[in-house]
């Protein structure tokens, strides 16, 4: 709002010094001396507000006017500015800054939405914060897996040098608990790929997870006769050898580090080890078939009128086919990765 008459003269007055502005008992008091159209004069007015205001007015003195800001104690809509119903003659609205009730509500709603959006962004976190959290999470996951498989690899290597071939036959009882932990935790990789945390394709990751866990939990874990066989050593040793190069590579990638030796090993060591691992797993399945036939474990008889006994070894034979299919899927995926990483660059023809 603006003030005309005396206040208009005040805006045009020059040479005002130290105006006396205060609020007492909800009344604004103004008094200042300045040079206007009628010469030097004292300009003074009193304005009693309709509702309570804060008693600390803020003013800004310029060459042509005095701007006074008074804040309401409570943010609400007023029917008018002053307590008296009749508007003072010297008081007029400033239509450049005028807001009716609907405008005020829209402005208030806009401010509330802005605050809500700000709080939402703070609760969700900035993109940089989310990226940092994701990298930290992936770094810790790969670190834990690296430490777990490193423990398995070192333990089996030391036992082999000390005990020789004798270490083959108690491998399961020595490192099975750690292998259980690492392979159960490996399910996180497939989940990360499925929900988009990592860019890895879901199918190769899922093939490897299900294949390894089938060997670990079904072939070795449920049959004590299989736990003392030498094939367990070769399966576990090949798995851990692959992972002690793969997980530190991913771990360093989370902090944007590229160690060329490790990168080469990560994209090369699988070439001999994956077929060897697949062969060792196939041997373990083949050796388990007579054991499952003798014990009848997981076998069942179809209900009447069929009454045919279905041996679990039938599913193991199907699994052997799927095992080599999984090898093809993973081998093809890893080959594409290696070619993309180390593929020869096209020579420019000048």
One DSSP character per residue, 152-201 reads: HHHHHHHHHHHHGGGGGGGHHHHHHHHHHHHHHHTHHHHHHHHHTSS-S-
Catalytic-residue membership of 44? no
Q: b vs e for 69-107, b when ≥16 Cβ sit within 10 Å of the residue's Cβ?
A: ebeeeeeeeeeebeeeeeebebbeeeeeeeeeeeeeeee
Q: What is the rounded distance in angstroms from the CA atom of residue 3 to the CA atom of residue 32?
A: 15
Q: How many helices (H) and strands (E) does the chain have?
A: 11, 9
Please identify which of the residues 243, 281, 319, 333 carries the catalytic annotation: 281
Catalytic-residue membership of 281? yes
Angle at 182 between CA 194 and CA 192, to 5 degrees: 15
Q: What is the rounded distance in angstroms from the CA atom of residue 125 to the CA atom of residue 133?
A: 10
**Whether the Cβ atoms of residue 297 and residue 222 lie closer than 8 Å to each other:** yes
Backbone angles phi, psi at 78, to 5 degrees: -105, 140
**Whether the Cβ atoms of residue 129 and residue 235 lie closer than 8 Å to each other:** no
Please identify which of the residues 274, 294, 304, 335 carries the catalytic annotation: 274
Backbone angles phi, psi at 301, to 5 degrees: -110, 130
Pull the structure tokens for residue 6: 């005396």
Tokens 């497939």 belong to residue: 190
Question: Rg of the chain over CA atoms, in angstroms?
Answer: 41
Secondary structure of residue 207 in the 3-state scheme = helix
Q: Report the chain's terminal Cα–Cα distance, integer Å.
A: 76
The residues assigned a catalytic role are 274, 281
């Amino acid at each position: 709002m603006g003030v005309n008459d005396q206040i208009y003269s005040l805006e045009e007055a020059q040479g005002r010094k130290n105006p006396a502005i205060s609020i007492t008992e909800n009344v604004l008091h103004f008094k200042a001396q300045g040079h206007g159209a009628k010469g030097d004069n004292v300009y003074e007015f009193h304005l009693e507000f309709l509702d309570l205001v804060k008693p600390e007015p803020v003013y800004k003195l310029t060459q042509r006017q005095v701007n006074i800001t008074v804040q309401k104690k409570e943010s609400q809509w007023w029917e008018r500015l002053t307590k008296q119903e009749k508007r003072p003659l010297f008081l007029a609205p400033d239509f450049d800054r005028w807001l009716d009730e609907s405008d005020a509500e829209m402005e208030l709603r806009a401010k509330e939405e802005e605050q809500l959006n700000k709080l939402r962004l703070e609760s969700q976190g900035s993109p940089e914060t989310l990226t940092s959290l994701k990298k930290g999470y992936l770094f810790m996951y790969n670190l834990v897996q690296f430490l777990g498989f490193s423990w398995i690899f070192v333990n089996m290597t030391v036992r082999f040098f000390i005990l020789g071939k004798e270490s083959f036959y108690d491998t399961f009882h020595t490192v099975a608990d750690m292998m259980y932990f690492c392979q159960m935790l490996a399910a996180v990789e497939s989940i990360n790929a499925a929900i988009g945390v990592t860019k890895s394709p879901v199918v190769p990751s899922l093939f490897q997870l299900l294949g390894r866990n089938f060997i670990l939990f079904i072939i070795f874990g449920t049959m004590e006769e299989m736990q003392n066989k030498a094939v367990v050593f070769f399966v576990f040793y090949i798995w851990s050898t692959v992972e002690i190069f793969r997980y530190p590579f991913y771990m360093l990638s989370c902090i944007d580090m590229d160690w060329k030796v490790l990168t080469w090993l990560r994209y090369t060591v699988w070439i001999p080890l994956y077929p060897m691992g697949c062969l060792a797993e196939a041997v373990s399945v083949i050796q388990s078939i007579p054991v499952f036939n003798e014990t009848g474990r997981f076998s069942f008889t179809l209900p009447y009128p069929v009454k045919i006994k279905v041996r679990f070894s039938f599913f193991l034979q199907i699994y052997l086919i799927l095992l080599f299919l999984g090898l093809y899927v993973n081998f093809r995926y890893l080959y594409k990765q290696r070619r993309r990483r180390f593929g020869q660059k096209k020579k420019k023809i000048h």
